[in-house]
Each structure stands twice: as structure tokens, then as C-alpha cells.
Chains A and B, each alone.
Chain A
Amino acid sequence: MGLLMSVEVSIFINNRIEPTPNNISNLMTKLNALGEYEYLPNIINVQNIDLSSGKVNTVSNVAFSTISNSSRITCTDDRIDCIINFDHSKQPNLKESLSFCQTVLSTIVETFRIYGNRLAINIRQLSNRLPENIFDSKLGASMVSVFKFYQENQLSDWSTNANSRIDIKINDMLEKTNVNTKLQAGMDHSDNSKIVICHLDINTLAENKGYRFSSSDILPFIEGTTPYIEQILNEFVVLDNE
């Protein structure tokens, strides 16, 4: 059976959360009060090239991780991400995970009164192991190139990518959103068998640059996109089992 690997929700911002003791302590208390994970604060350094001065800047950013790395939150100057990784010791629940990520992001942007200009969801799911001859599975065969050359030669790598722009309503405002699905060949290192990774990336358009998303807009974004996520992942599972 295919496996849900990770769920990530992001908001693109233009604010810096300074890693001061007060900010870290305040955020940690609020995030751990959500009850789902025990987050440990840490600092991640990011290097940027400053074109004007010709220097490399090292910027320290606030991050939170669980001991097992099952969840991670990073707050950089241009985005805040909340990611949940699944280790499959228990059955992952997609809706609950999205809802938790939303609560985390809402808590952070509300605490610092931040507005974002883009929202995004990234989900990764693994397929079952593919048969040695990928034409023997519907999922494998559906991804193979139309070129005869590739049908006659063993494939070492392949992928497909599809994007649609759809309208979703976020608090009564219509928002154009990319629904991008990438299927990519991978390998299960435990037995070197072939698998497919389904990477679903849903995000509001980059062209729309206004900082218009507040904490109250993240939930409607997730609610508006969940039906499409479920449809695509369900179809992936059905295709994967044929």
C-alpha cells in the first residue's frame, strides 16, 4: 500500500522574527500548548549573497523541531513552514495534519501580526513498489513517454508534471491557485525496488504580490483546497493499485 510521507503548509511573508529569548520562549509556550508535539527551539543559519555590498550574510532564524524530527517549523525572513513527516508507526490522517499545520501558522502570524502574500500546501505520497517491468502496472505505464525509443529501452529515470489554475474562495475573495502534481520515479533503498513519488504542490499565484493573507485566511485556504487534494490523492491510490 502507498504511504503518505509528509504534509507541509507555508505562508510567504516579508517579516523577520528576531531570535530573541523573549520571542523564542513566547513561541515555544504557545506551540507546545497546542498539545500535539513537543517542540524544541533551535536556530538555523541561512547564508545570503548581498548584491549591494558584495558580501555573504549569515542570518540566524528561529526554528522548532521534535526529537524524532516528526514535525519541524522554520521561520525565515520570507516564509514560515510547518511540516509533518510520517514514520508510519500509526496511520497518518491527512485532514488532521493539515489542520494542525494551519493552527501552527495561524498562531505564529497572529502572535507577530504578520501578513503573507502567498499560501502553499505541499504533500508527498509514495506509491506501492512497481513491478520490474513498469508496463505491468497502470501507474508505471501511464508515466512512460510516448516516444518509442523509451518504450524499447529500460528507463533509468522518468517524471510527469501537470498544473491547473483554479479559483478558490478565501473569506469571500476569489483567489487563483496553482494545483501542481508531479509524479517522479524513485527507489526504495531497502530492496532497490522502483516506486513513484507523488508530489502535490498547491499554492496561490506568485504574480499576486499583495500582502493580504492574515491568520484568519489560512483555514479557508486549506478548506478550499482539501477537496482537490483528496481527489488527486485518491486517484493516485486507485491508479497505484491497478
Chain B
Amino acid sequence: MNDILIDKHQNYIYYADFADKITSSDNTAVKVINNIIDENQIINQKKTKEAFSSEIVHPLFIYQNSKQLKEYLEKNDIYKGQIVNKLVSVLYKDLREYTLDSCEMSLAERRIIDIEQNYTMAILGEVLQKIYIKHFDEPLILAGICDCLCRFDLSEVNPWGPAMLAGLLNHKSETVQEYATLLIENWSDISLLPMLESIDFSSKWLIEYVKEVIAYLKGNK
């Protein structure tokens, strides 16, 4: 949940949590997000000034300017989409360098940390989900995503993390299934148990590994 705040100096309205964290590739703030609604666009000037006295916008203000706010949110979505698309191509490039069983921190992992720290976890979620759907036929990319996600707690990547996990566990590649199971083991959350139990794994070694993880999750209950 994010507040809509009024910038008293510039008379601009902005979506604080988002605007604070969105930056361009050279880490400068994306100013356009703060400038979408200016004073001239707001219908009721008197109520606008009243609204400036409070950090959280008065419901009446939102009601009277709901059209502008909706437009603002739509434009926000467009800018966010552009940033996400840019990050998708950068992260995908790094994920292509990913190798299995490497001891060193991968480029992709560094990039994912960078996105989480400089943007938001929600943005990271959108980026990863786009890559996972578009490149679902590339097992190494998906294994790389699983590996990188091991860095985060389940609560941080909820609900998009488990959503991706459901798709990854159903993948044809045993490597992806193994890395997805590894992710479940890492998250150690009993709520993920039905996901693991609903999949029919084919190879013996993977079945054994999944059994171990199921027993581990049940033991943690």
C-alpha cells in the first residue's frame, strides 16, 4: 500500500513509494513520474490547496480528481512498463552467461540484487516473470532464475515467486525441476508442499530428492 503525497514545493502530486525508488539506468531519479499531474491539470483549485495541508490526500480530493488520478496511474504504468522492458533485456543477457554449479556469484545474481535495491521487489517480480514466460524453453535461464531467487525469503517474493515456481516445477527439463525443488527446500515453507506433491517426476534420482524435501518440509511443520 502506497500513499499519494503532495510535493508542497513544486505543487506536484506523486506516488511516493514508487517515485522514490524508480531510477534510470544511470541511477538518476526518473523525474517524469513526479510531473505527471501538475496544478493546472487539477480541476478544483481550492480543494487542491486544502489537500496540500495534509500529507495523505483527502478522500474528497481524490473523488473530485479521480479522472486525473486514473490517468496518472495509467501513465505511471506506461513508464513502469518501459523500465521493466529495459531491465528484462539487461537481465536476460546476464542470465545467458549463467552456468550450473558455479561457486562464484553470477552476473545475473548481481543484477537481480541491483534491481531489488535500486528499484523495488515488485519491479523485480515483473522483470523475472516476463523472462520466465518468454524464455520458458530455455532451461539454463530458468535454472539461473531459481538459483538467484534462493537469495530471498519467500515472504519477499510472494506471491509472484510461488506462481513462477508452479510453472517451473511442471517444466519438461529435469534440471529446471531440480532447481525449482532446490528453491522450495531453500524457502522451507509448508504452504509449498501441495505444489511439490502434485507433480509426477520421472527420474528415480529426482523422485528421491523430492521425497527428501517433502520429508524435510513436513519435519519443519
Measured CB to CB, the residues of A under 8 A from B are 19-22, 24-26, 28-29, 32, 40-43, 45, 47, 49, 51-58, 60, 62, 65, 67
**Contact with A54, one of B56, B125, B133 (Cβ below 8 angstroms):** B56
User: Which residue in chain B gives the minimum CB-CB distance to A60?
Assistant: B159
Q: Say yes or no: B166 contacts A28, CB within 8 Å.
A: yes
Q: Say yes or no: B198 contacts A21, CB within 8 Å.
A: no
Q: Which residues 101-151 in B have Cβ within 8 Å of A in the complex?
A: 122, 125-126, 129, 132-134, 136-137
Report chain B residues within 8 Å CB of A20.
159, 162, 191
Report chain B residues within 8 Å CB of A57.
1
Measured CB to CB, the residues of B under 8 A from A are 1-4, 15, 56-59, 61-63, 66, 69-70, 73, 76-77, 122, 125-126, 129, 132-134, 136-137, 159-160, 162-167, 170, 191-192, 194-195, 198
Q: Say yes or no: B159 contacts A55, CB within 8 Å.
A: no
Report chain B residues within 8 Å CB of A43.
125, 129, 159-160, 163
Q: Say yes or no: B170 contacts A32, CB within 8 Å.
A: yes
Report chain B residues within 8 Å CB of A47.
73, 76-77
CB distance from A73 to the nearest CB of B (A): 13
Q: Say yes or no: A19 contacts B62, CB within 8 Å.
A: no
The answer to whether A42 and B73 touch (CB under 8 A), given A28-B166, A53-B59, is no
Report chain B residues within 8 Å CB of A52.
59
Question: What is the bound-complex CA distance between A17 and B56, given in angstroms?
Answer: 30
The answer to whether A40 and B132 touch (CB under 8 A), given A56-B15, A67-B137, is yes
- 7 closest residue pairs by CB, A with B: A19-B159, A43-B160, A21-B162, A40-B167, A41-B163, A25-B195, A42-B129
Q: Say yes or no: B165 contacts A42, CB within 8 Å.
A: no
Question: What is the bound-complex CA distance between A54 and B1, given in angstroms?
Answer: 11
User: Which residue in chain B gives the minimum CB-CB distance to A69?
Assistant: B133
The answer to whether A54 and B58 touch (CB under 8 A), given A21-B165, A42-B163, is yes
Report chain B residues within 8 Å CB of A26.
194, 198
Q: Say yes or no: B170 contacts A28, CB within 8 Å.
A: yes
Question: What is the bound-complex CA distance between A19 and B15, given in angstroms?
Answer: 25
Q: Say yes or no: B2 contacts A67, CB within 8 Å.
A: no
Q: Say yes or no: B125 contacts A49, CB within 8 Å.
A: no
User: Which residue in chain B gives the minimum CB-CB distance to A65?
Assistant: B133
Question: What is the bound-complex CA distance between A43 and B165, given in angstroms?
Answer: 12
CB distance from A31 to the nearest CB of B (A): 11
Q: Say yes or no: B4 contacts A54, CB within 8 Å.
A: yes
Question: What is the bound-complex CA distance between A20 and B193, given in angstroms?
Answer: 12
Report chain B residues within 8 Å CB of A32.
170
CB distance from A21 to the nearest CB of B (A): 4
User: Which residue in chain B gives the minimum CB-CB distance to A53?
Assistant: B59
CB distance from B36 to the nearest CB of A (A): 13
Complex A-B: 9 CB contacts under 8 Å: A19-B162, A22-B191, A25-B166, A40-B133, A40-B167, A42-B133, A43-B125, A54-B4, A56-B2
